[in-house]
Amino acid sequence: MIKALCAEIVFLAFHKKTMKERLAYLFKGIVFLPFLAKDTLKNERKLDASVSMSAAGDDIYPLF
């Protein structure tokens, strides 16, 4: 997960036009990496929970 976030930050930074923008995006990405990782992990857990809840309710409907 951390490797994927780092790759996305680098990808975003190196698609900026000037070196100043690239360095700014890299710096901000490194600073906010722990917060992004925490939010990503929390969203993955929510997604897993919602998938399991929706799958559990599928078998209560009668088949005609």
Residue at 18 is within a domain: yes
Residue at 29 is within a domain: yes
Confidence of residue 37 (pLDDT cuts 50, 70, 90): confident
How far is Cα 42 from Cα 50, in angstroms, rounded to an integer? 12
Residue at 56 is within a domain: no
Residue at 40 is within a domain: yes
Residue 62 has pLDDT above 90, yes or no: no
Domain that holds residue 45: 2-50
Backbone angles phi and psi of 57, in degrees to 5: -85, -5
Backbone angles phi and psi of 25, in degrees to 5: -70, -40
Residue 23 has pLDDT above 80, yes or no: yes
Q: What's the number of domains the chain is made of? A: 1
Q: Are 12 and 25 contacting, i.e. CB atoms less than 8 angstroms apart?
A: yes
Q: Residue 64: how many CB atoms within 10 A of its CB?
A: 3
Confidence of residue 3 (pLDDT cuts 50, 70, 90): confident
Q: Output the furthest CA–CA distance in the chain (Å, rounded).
A: 64
Interval 43-59: pLDDT, tens: 777 766 655 555 555 55
Interval 23-37 mean pLDDT:
92
